[in-house]
Structure 1
Amino acid sequence: MTTQLPTLSVLDLVPVRGDQSSAQALAATLEVARAADALGYHRYWVAEHHNMPAVAATNPPVLLAMIGSATSRIRVGSGGVMLPNHAPLVVAEQFALLEAAFPGRVDLGIGRAPGTDPITSYALRHGAGGVDDQAVTRFPQYVDDVLAMMDTDGVAVSVAGRTQALRATPAADSVAAVWLLGSSDYSARLAAEKGLPYVFAHHFSGDERATADAVRLYRESFRPSELLAEPRTFLTVNASVAEDADEAYRLALPQLLTMLALRTGAPLRPLASVEEAEKVDLGAGQQEIVDAMASRWVIGARDEARRRVADLAARFAVDEVMVNPVAGAHEGTEPGSAPARVDTLRLLAG
């Protein structure tokens, strides 16, 4: 029996393996993006993280310019831009230009979290979005500012008694679609209040109850706007898919160990190879954390993985699932490639 899948999309953190330079990690991401485009995936979003040894997704607009140029039809977007790190006008300008370059294909996903450690966060925000407390407190206003500045008519701004029009780009024909992202109920409430589409970071939390609560809050509180008449959301999930379940788990192990380090405060390192990851001796408590994470990810052979994705979509009543292909690489894999990540997308697509 054929499994009826929801619309499939991709989330990419641009992972960096121990055998890769940043250039090679970017080359691998472009390979994955081209595969997603050819396989019919709907969106390709990249995250914003800073100063992390295993993540090269530091600048979504730069990455999206590369990915948009390397693909032909897939929507490209941020998952997301961490708005308190940046001046709203800069974000509006970046995504107005991306929309001009790839009209009708651009999503601006906006988040409130720092996406990094406190020291790096200070370095990012100093002189741009203000000090941390101010940047976070002003987040709802920053969202409004971005929306207004990207509007094709611009927005009137008054400073010291002088008013003039402010536009993100001189002559926009269309505007990037704006989404609010979050891992708590804060963004769910804000998205509902502003009538914007919303995505809960299920791939990060993995807590089905938290996801269900956030999505329910968003849907029940939603106020229609000029941008959106009805609530719109989808699900994100980590996935490793291979020809058999054992291989899928082996390929997921490097990313599972990275997430273990992140959750336990251990030093972060580039992604290990599958063979290196299998040599790591975990204590009972560590293994319990890894097992719990693995149970919430989509890890398995093709048919079972497709059923899991379809079940998740049905459980949360969404018609789109965004997959973060977390499959690692064996020793000797070409550094500028990511064959297991491509295979995950290929096998899920059918």
Structure 2
Amino acid sequence: MSSATKNLSDIRISVLDLVPILSGKTPADSFKNALDLARHVEQWGYERYWMAEHHNMPGIASSATSVLIGYIAGGTSTIRVGSGGIMLPNHAPLVVAEQFGTLETLYPGRIDLGLGRAPGTDQVTAMALRRDLRGAGEDFPENVAELQSYFAPRDASARVRAVPGEGLDIPIWLLGSSTFSAQLAGILGMPFAFASHFAPSLLHTALKVYRDHFQPSEYLQEPYALAGINIVAADTDEEAQRLATSLYMSFLNVIRGKATPMKPPIESMEGQWDGSEKYAVQQMLRYTFIGSPNTLQAELQTFVDETQVDEVMVASGIYDHAARLHSYEILAEIAGKKKQ
């Protein structure tokens, strides 16, 4: 870990949008909200806007991730847009290279390609996506290397080429919730993003593994680590806690195996969960920061002190679109990205 401390204002802040489908609303509403959010955070000093690949989930609209990246990039002008991530076992590396080569050609210098090694869904849906589960995830390093090869400088003698794609500088990130991708990202000298917004237990271990194994590469000379967190910010602690009930209910449904659209906030979670369910949700949401600006500033600085990450990527599971915008605006202000 670096001996130099970082202030919250020193690190980059970004957005992870799961493009939630809201109860009583449609995916079309979700896409409209996503573009509006992206346009706002672009003005508020956020670094990048990522969307995640999920399938067969009634509450998440980002299944066709690369299509949505084009939609968001086309409606913004400076913010980086990318995947957090593309689940590589679901796709042939050549197809990913062609899709992101196309995106980078359309929106040069603004596209990120984050890669995960999980399917992002259940086994039945994974079978529907891939038709074949043999070696799923186990050949991730080989698939990453193949994908990287398609972005290499143009080689007219290559039997398989990504057109467009070859010769383009598209940052590839490895994403993970364990030490596997952390170690691989370090060895390959790639940026690493940890999914601590829902799988927090190995965050510190994975960051250490990544930094300990890091080898300088053509991509990076120094390790670059990003951590996912949840933030629900409001003008008062009480309002933030009320808004956060939507997030709690979403994760409670995950634990119960019931995927549903995001529900409006309620006054209290009392009676909504039993003791074991509450504990499980709180464990998954360990790195969730809820409160007013004063509350959040101290808690987020502590997180940066403990992790020394270079960037935080923020998911904000808030039902009301205006309240969600306000949450991201508050973060931009306390992180020193937006002038108050």
TM-score normalised to structure 1 length: 0.88
Partner amino acid, structure 2, of 1:93? E
Contact 2:83 2:112 in 1 (8 A): yes
Q: Could you say which residue in structure 2 is the equivalent of 1:202? A: 196
Confirm whether residue 229 of structure 1 aligns to residue 229 of structure 2.
no
Deviation (angstroms), 1:305: 1.6
Q: Could you say which residue in structure 1 is the equivalent of 2:338? A: none
Distance 2:181 2:156 in 1: 24
Partner amino acid, structure 1, of 2:223? P
Quickly say closer, same or farther: Cα 1:233–1:85, change in 2 above 3 A: same
1:169 to 163, 166, 176: 163
Q: Cα deviation per residue 1:206-238 (whole Å; 9 max; x = unaligned)?
A: 33xx10100100100112222222211111101
Distance 1:104 1:276 in 2: 44
Distance 1:82 1:171 in 2: 19
Quickly say closer, same or farther: Cα 1:279–1:154, change in 2 above 3 A: farther
Q: Could you say which residue in structure 2 is the equivalent of 1:347? A: 330
1:319 to 300, 310, 329: 310
Confirm whether residue 287 of structure 1 aligns to residue 278 of structure 2.
yes
Distance 1:86 1:155 in 2: 25
Deviation (angstroms), 1:261: 2.0
1:54 to 35, 56, 59: 59
| Aligned ranges 1:1-350 → 2 under 5 Å | 4=9, 6-126=11-131, 131-154=132-155, 157=158, 164=159, 166-170=160-164, 174-207=168-201, 210-263=202-255, 265-275=256-266, 281-293=272-284, 296-329=287-320, 338-350=321-333
Deviation (angstroms), 1:271: 0.9
Q: Residue 229 of structure 2: SS of its match in structure 1?
A: strand
Distance 2:299 2:153 in 1: 41
Gaps of 5+ in 1: 158-163, 330-337
Partner amino acid, structure 2, of 1:89? L
Deviation (angstroms), 1:92: 0.3
Range 299-308 or range 196-205, more displaced: 299-308
Deviation (angstroms), 1:192: 1.4
Q: Cα deviation per residue 1:4-37 (whole Å; 9 max; x = unaligned)?
A: 3621110010011111111011111111111111
Quickly say closer, same or farther: Cα 1:246–1:229, change in 2 above 3 A: same
Contact 1:53 1:269 in 2 (8 A): yes
Contact 2:151 2:167 in 1 (8 A): no
Q: Cα deviation per residue 1:90-128 (whole Å; 9 max; x = unaligned)?
A: 0000111111111111110000001001111000112xx
Partner amino acid, structure 2, of 1:40? G
Contact 1:202 1:236 in 2 (8 A): yes
Percentage identity across paired residues of the two chains: 39
TM-score normalised to structure 2 length: 0.90
Range 109-118 or range 219-228, more displaced: 219-228
